[in-house]
Amino acid sequence: MHTIAHIENNYTEKFGVPRQSGLVSEVTSLIVFEPEFRNPEALRGLEGFTHIWLIWEFSEAKRRGAKAESTPAESGSEAAAESKCDWRPTVRPPRLGGNTRMGVFATRSPFRPNPIGLSCVELAGVEYDTADGPVIYVKGADLMNGTPILDIKPYIPYADCRPEAKGGFTDENEFAKVEAVIPEGITAVLTPEEVSELMAILAQDPRPAYQKAQERAYSFRFSVYDVTFEAKDNVLTVTSVKKVK
């Protein structure tokens, strides 16, 4: 597989990234192609679509350095053992509080036999004449800044939309938004666009499910800022925003 592009946005660490694509449409991300793929002809016809699929790599979720155990029957070479995939058949979805195991193929966990992600995002525009060649603007991405993108495909409504589909255990654990508060003194540090993005991120409640009953402070990196907020009675209040030096 070849990395064709990477994504640029304000999600500079895992905490705060939406749990699924499309949940935070306020954040605009930029797709920048690798030099060998900066051919505008490759995007011909793309602007006729409103949404696209991104196929990408969980580049920060690989289990590196682990070797699979080999048996005498498998013997041969050490390379044969190293070629085995380090994976587990079950995972603990955060959606279920991190206490219940589900089959890895029944989840979207990043810890998979192959670390591949799939996201449907809104196509916000294409700009052809930039210093980085043609770039794509998208909304609703759930990818960290710098994530490698392996492929882009158009979202086709008649084939990709299934209104009758069931969501398995996720149907019983729908996301509930919380109230987000950013005091006026803190909003003065941010641009109006950053305030809107940060409010949308917090409204999705980035806290781990098993911590939502706790009253405590959290910190995470957003764009070039360290953001701290407190959680109480399902209200997330930003207490400080400091620019990273």
> Stretch 226-235: mean pLDDT, rounded?
90
- In angstroms, the CA 21 to CA 74 distance is 42
Q: Domain 5-60+115-165 adopts which CATH fold? A: Elongation Factor Tu (Ef-tu); domain 3 (2.40.30)
Q: Which CATH number fits domain 175-243: 3.90.1720.10, 3.30.2310.20, 2.40.170.20, 1.20.1560.10?
A: 3.30.2310.20
Cα dist from 84 to 18, 65, 81, 111, whole Å: 31, 12, 6, 15
- In angstroms, the CA 184 to CA 188 distance is 6
Classify burial at 117, counting beta carbons within 10 Å of its beta carbon; exposed 0-12, middle 13-18, buried 19 or more: buried
Stretch among 72-76, 84-88, 175-179, 187-191 having the lowest mean pLDDT: 72-76
Q: Which residues contact 228 (CB under 8 A, 6 or more apart)?
A: 217, 218, 219, 238, 239, 240, 241
**pLDDT at residue 118, rounded to an integer:** 97
**pLDDT at residue 143, rounded to an integer:** 96
Residues 110, 61: contact at Cβ < 8 Å?
yes
**pLDDT at residue 70, rounded to an integer:** 37
pLDDT over 70 at 63, yes or no: no
